[in-house]
Amino acid sequence: MQENEILVKEQLNEVVMKFVIYKPLVARAARAGQFVILRGRDGGERVPVTLVDWDEKAGTITVIIQSIGKSTFMFNSLKQGDCFLNILGPLGTAVEMKNYGTVAVIGGGVGIAEVYPIAKALKAIGNKVISILGARTKSLLILEEQMRAVSDETICCTDDGSYGQKGMVTDALKACVNSGEKIAAGFVIGPIPMMKFTSKLMVELGIEPYASLNPIMLDGTGMCGGCRVSVEGKVRFACVDGPMFPARTIDFDELIRRTGEYKLQEKTAVEKFEKDHQCKLGLH
């Protein structure tokens, strides 16, 4: 067994892989809400991914990666026994753990994996945890069993109604509050528009909202300014001040604009990667 080695690789659905990696120093220091920066090869991109789970005794960390572009396609093609080139972390500020009473933990798509350690830690200190999991369709809804194990109640929603309730996480949250639940705080991770509208709804429902932001990150240590976000009208760096922030005053529209700035380059990189990959496989 060597540092950064993939000990277990598991496919969770057509685009999402789970990796258990040998990384004892990170496993020893990890806290809920933190992340690592991965590189697959020399000259490769630096990719932030959430620490989903860790086992200090075994010296392992678990990350869950959705194939979305060139780097994540490459990572998800690694095999058991392969090694990541570097793993930097744990990075970011851990989520402050408090006993709120009842909390809502809301994950959308691969955001379910990112919110899992927060649900687990909030439950461990005695909160009543209501988890609301959302996905476009049944096959994209991940970690239901694991979320149920760390929640008092788990509600699954799919946009197309193929599993659980038909509709969005906001509908489920509203129904929960209307049924009499007194929720003090809510933690949401998922696509930016989902986090924007869920945070807005939480404010309307009297729930203190928190959202984990995913701007483009480079160094992950507060030096490059790439991950700049606006919270309470102030500039904050998501890699050191976050990624979880109180969500009442996050400028989500600025975040959407900034994460979309490199769409053209990202598209070109994927097209080149697919072409090279197919050539290597002798497909054309």
Helix (H, G, I), strand (E, B) or coil at 211: strand
For the bound state, the minimum distance from the C-beta of residue 112 to ligand FES, rounded and expressed in Å, comes to 24
Choose between 167 and 226: whose C-beta lies nearer to ligand FAD: 226
Choose between 53 and 114: whose C-beta lies nearer to ligand FAD: 114
Among residues 218, 246, 248, 266, which is the contact residue for ligand FES, using CB under 6 A?
218
- The closest of 278, 203, 215 to 252, measured between CA atoms, is 215
> What is the C-alpha separation between 28 and 225, in angstroms, rounded?
28
Decide: is 229 part of the binding site for ligand FES (CB under 6 A). no
Give residues 235-254 in contact with ligand FES (rule: CB under 6 A): 237, 239
Decide: is 225 part of the binding site for ligand FES (CB under 6 A). yes
Q: Dihedrals φ, ψ of 204, to 5°?
A: -60, -30
For the bound state, the minimum distance from the C-beta of residue 246 to ligand FAD, rounded and expressed in Å, comes to 17
Burial of residue 221 (CB within 10 Å: 0-12, 13-18, 19+) is middle
The site for ligand FAD (CB under 6 A) is made up of 35, 45-50, 64-66, 68-72, 110, 113-114, 214, 216-217, 243, 259, 266, 270
> What is the C-alpha separation between 117 and 95, in angstroms, rounded?
10
> What is the C-alpha separation between 21 and 7, in angstroms, rounded?
6
Q: Say how many residues touch ligand FES, by CB under 6 A.
A: 12
Among residues 220, 242, 252, 255, which is the contact residue for ligand FES, using CB under 6 A?
220
Choose between 19 and 237: whose C-beta lies nearer to ligand FES: 237
β-strands 128-135, 16-22: how paired? unpaired
Alpha helices (runs of H) in 6-129, residue ranges in sequence order: 24-29, 70-76, 111-124
Query: CB–CB of 67/140 below 8 Å?
Result: no
For the bound state, the minimum distance from the C-beta of residue 71 to ligand FAD, rounded and expressed in Å, comes to 3
Taking CB within 5 to 8 Å according to partner kind, which of ligand FES, ligand FAD, none is near residue 25?
none
Length of the chain (residues): 284
Choose between 89 and 186: whose C-beta lies nearer to ligand FAD: 89
Positions that interact with ligand FES (CB under 6 A): 217-220, 222-227, 237, 239
